[in-house]
Structure 1
Amino acid sequence: MLLDKLMQKTDKYNLSWSQRMMIITSSALHDIGKVGIEEKIINKTEKLTEEESNEMKMHTLIGAGMIENLDEYKDEELMQIAYGICRGHHERYDGKGYPDGLKGDDIPIGAQVVALADEYDRLVMGRPNKKSVSHEQAVNMIKDRECRKFNPILVECFLEISDEIKARLQ
């Protein structure tokens, strides 16, 4: 939905149908690097210590490394998109994300889309150390953070489809 709305709103990214499908397909791998993180950190119900937080941040590099190590497929566009998503889904539009501190459209568009979807999921589903919020609260929280964390065009697209997202989740 979000990618379709983005394509309707702007031709800036000019993604083919095939590329959109590759982003959707490889989005499932965005957190694959968590297999390399201690389970006690992933499932911790209290706030992570600085050391634990730093270890958790490594999942982006671990996941990207797993994709990169698929040598016979590394030149395939799907693998390049998956790599960008694994590595870049915690980058922020303002440049304050990790692991590389990428800013704006230096962040692969697939990673930008997955970051926004992941944030929504984190908010409405909760995490071991964070309570869930309602759809409306999540939408407002994403809207209020738009200038710092996410591509403003993506936030605009997300807001336009938020009712459709809510309907699909019910």
Structure 2
Amino acid sequence: MSELQTILVVDDNPDNIDVLTGILRPYYKVKAAINGKLALKIASSKAKPDLILLDIMMPEIDGYQVCKELKANPVTRHIPVIFVTAKTEIEDEKQGFELGAVDYITKPVSMPIVLARIKTHLALYDQQRALEDQVKERTEQIEHTRAEIIKRLGRAAEYKDNETGMHVIRMSYYSKFLAQKIGCDDSWTELLFNAAPMHDIGKIGIPDAVLLKPGKLNDEEWVIMQKHVQYGADILGTDDSELLSLAREVALYHHEKWNGKGYPHGLSGEDIPLSARIVALADVFDALTSVRPYKEAWPIEKVEALFKEEAGQHFDPALVPEFLACMPQIKEIMSKYSDDKEAETFGLTE
């Protein structure tokens, strides 16, 4: 047997509460409040009512004000409110509906009308909640799909100059670890984790003769290579999505340097977005500790020494020690997603 739904009866007259309680008790759980202040407290509690029967004429806070406050509170705004009142003027009824009430019952109440109205609005409320759950679930699916597409595009770009494409997996985790270490909130940290794979998406637009050149680039080639950050920003566009916006930010600014000698804009210090300062550390660390056609992998100790030297030059000096403190987690990811292991999944999730 399903649990009984809860009705909150709000009236300053105990006799009126008794009448409504007598009507409702066989079919519902009933809570009662003898004033508006208590009603608001009960309505916003953990065990919220499924519907509220609300008197209008009460001392201190009248029913209209109670309804207004209920609808202004995100916790209670969806609870159906039915006014039960002796006020019978059309203007009174109009005001009640304008404040967000779903129905209006006049006193003295009729038991069949009360039960019928409550049944109808509870059913509508149940349908509304079910629809909201479906929309939420669908939205989460869309967000997940969008994130997965971004991850795969990031790996597609990496495949142009990385045999396994595991680089974007590792550096995304490193970025996440650092964001967590410095206390970024969970939501932004997860966005960064999903945006980081797109940092070099603009490499798709760089000619292979430049991108895959085994030796040092000449001045002309270096100018071409630097264009990948703007290409990445252009590919990601100016969509309103938080994820795509952050991915664009990372793509455009992750080659800026703390001392202002990076590119494309020569930004310095905290003018460089935090996302890009984090990804710069993660990206360079993985590049140095990975085998590339033109170099061997550096030992971690050598990279750590370089990072300490470059704190305040290439990298944010406050982030370097925090990044190095993440080394136990980083080493686990280096082992799990090493270039000589076959990836079992194309995603970044564990």
Q: Once superposed, what is the RMSD of the aligned Cα atoms?
A: 1.4
C-alpha deviations, 1:108-153, integer Å up to 9, x for none? 1111111100100110114333432111111111111112011111
Higher helix share: 1
Distance 1:60 1:160 in 2: 29
Structure number with bigger Rg: 2
Note if 1:5 corresponds to 2:181: yes
1:106 alignment counterpart? 271
Give 3-state SS (helix, strand or coil) of 1:21's partner: helix
TM-score, L = length of structure 2? 0.44
Equivalent residue, structure 2, for 1:158: 323
**C-alpha separation between the residues in 1 aligned to 2:209 and 2:286?**
21
- What is the correspondence of 1:12-161 to structure 2 with a 5 Å cutoff? 15-68=184-237, 74-161=239-326
In structure 1, the residue corresponding to 2:329 is in which secondary structure? helix
Long gaps (5+) in structure 1: 8-14
Counterpart Cα distance in 2 of 1:58 and 1:131 = 26
Deviations 1:61-102, CA, capped at 9 Å, x for gaps: 00001111xx6xx12221211111000000011111100111
Contact residue 33 and residue 66 of structure 1 kept, 8 A:
yes
| Cα distance in 1 between the residues matched to 2:261 and 2:254 | 12
Contact map agreement 1:47 1:129 (CA 8 A) in 2: no
Distance in 2 between residues matched to 1:128 and 1:58, nearest whole Å? 22
Deviation at residue 26 of structure 1 after TM alignment:
0.7
Number of positions where the alignment pairs a residue of Structure 1 with one of Structure 2: 159
Q: Distance in 1 between matches of 2:281 and 2:292?
A: 16
What is the aligned partner in structure 2 of residue 11 from structure 1? none
Give the 3 Å change call, closer, same or farther, for CA 127–52 of structure 1 in structure 2.
Answer: farther
Q: Which amino acid aligns with 1:34?
A: K
TM-score using structure 1 length: 0.87
Match of 1:10 in 2: none
Amino acid across the alignment from 1:77: E
The answer (yes or no) to whether the contact 1:143–1:159 under 8 Å persists in 2 is no
The share of aligned pairs that are identical, in percent, is: 36
More strand by share: 2
Of stretches 22-31 and 159-168 in structure 1, the one that deviates more from structure 2 is 159-168
Residue 20 of structure 1 aligns to a residue whose secondary structure is helix
